[in-house]
Amino acid sequence: MNPYHILGVSPNSSKEEIIEAYKNIVEKYNSIQPQDIEEQNLVEDAIEQANLAYDTLINGNIYREIRSLIDNDNIALAESKLNILDLKESAEWNYLKGFVFLKKGWFDVGIQHIITAKEIEPENEEYTKTVETLKLRAKDIVNFYKQQQMQNNRNINNMGNINNLNPCGNNSNMMGGGMC
């Protein structure tokens, strides 16, 4: 897919020119009254392609930034940028949102977003390979997150144990006035 070709703009086009071209295409195809199902499918496909091209050109830089944030484990900032965009119909948005959820340990929600990305853009090789990899590694991933959760629970339980706060490192009672 060449987003510039679909929208009829050049790579040097400004953001405003891209937005205007997109609006013109959407208005053109929304004004068509399809005569049959084939024509309806062509109209829907043209609008879908325009949406994808627009999303790629307008949001491409922010998606690259969010990918970098995820790669560098800055999950909170990546998630907040995705929440601001709130483009649930975008394949890339769903894909990145899926990785944010996976990094947070929310496997079910994360995989669902990645599957949604693949459904929106079934020809995208990256999305397809990721879904296949996650399916192959599902058991390992679930076990990893279970172990992490168990470790977190142990840490929380240990924080509640007063002996762990004892600088002597033993079971002596520091309240008796004696030193270690």
CATH topology match: 1-72 vs 88-159: no
Residue 164 pLDDT? 43
Q: Cβ distance 94 to 120 under 8 Å? A: yes
Helical spans, DSSP H, in the chain? 3-7, 15-30, 37-71, 75-85, 91-104, 107-120, 125-159
Domain spanning 1-72, CATH architecture: Orthogonal Bundle (1.10)
* Overall fold of domain 88-159: 1.25.40
116-148 per-position pLDDT tens digit: 999 998 989 999 999 999 888 877 877 777 787
CA neighbours within 13 Å on the CB side: how many for 30? Answer: 8
8-31 per-position pLDDT tens digit: 999 899 999 999 999 999 999 989
Band of residue 160 on the pLDDT scale cut at 50, 70, 90? low
Q: Domains of the chain: which residue ranges?
A: 1-72, 88-159
Residue 1 pLDDT? 66
- Decide: helix, strand or coil at residue 163: helix
Q: Cβ distance 46 to 29 under 8 Å? A: yes
CA dihedral 29, 3, 124, 94 (to 10 degrees): -80
63-112 per-position pLDDT tens digit: 989 999 999 999 999 999 999 988 888 899 999 999 999 999 888 899 99
